[in-house]
Structure 1
Amino acid sequence: MHHDEPSITDLPVSPTEDRRRRTRTYLIMMAIRLVCIVLFIVVPDWWKLAPAVVAVVIPWVAVVVANASSSLGTKTDRVTRRQIES
């Protein structure tokens, strides 16, 4: 029976780096929303519908994605659980 030993590459991302990644993701999605708002102003007729829908939905998606921590379900967590169970 072979037990997986955790290594330095299996460790989760540091909280500072994780926060930086989530902030960057959120800001990119908000920039996309800003582009959609500008497109809504510029685009004529019924074509306004596509950027309007994206501009309304993207804040919710951005918050959900930005709040998802990368530390969930890491290999280190699985190894620790497996070691405790045995």
Structure 2
Amino acid sequence: MNVYEGAHVLGMTILVILITLLQWILMKQNEKKEKAASVSILTIGWALAFIYIVFPESISIREIVTNSLRPVIKVLGLI
């Protein structure tokens, strides 16, 4: 990982932490499922962004979704 990738990852991490803290403060204490969902979505987004920063030549999300849904689309006769 070079310096620019490290700076992008650090900036992205700081933003995700700030978003998580702000959402955590705004949610009520009894909203445990909402808090878990929020943290899960942010973690998945952070991991995907990290992969695309470190490995920019990797397969895109659009290609992953297209390849995984292609059999379903064929069965439904949409292609």
Structure that is richer in helix per residue: 2
Q: Which has the higher contact order (CA 8 A, sep 6+)?
A: 1
TM-score (norm 1): 0.47
TM-score (norm 2): 0.50
Higher Cα Rg: structure 1 or 2?
1
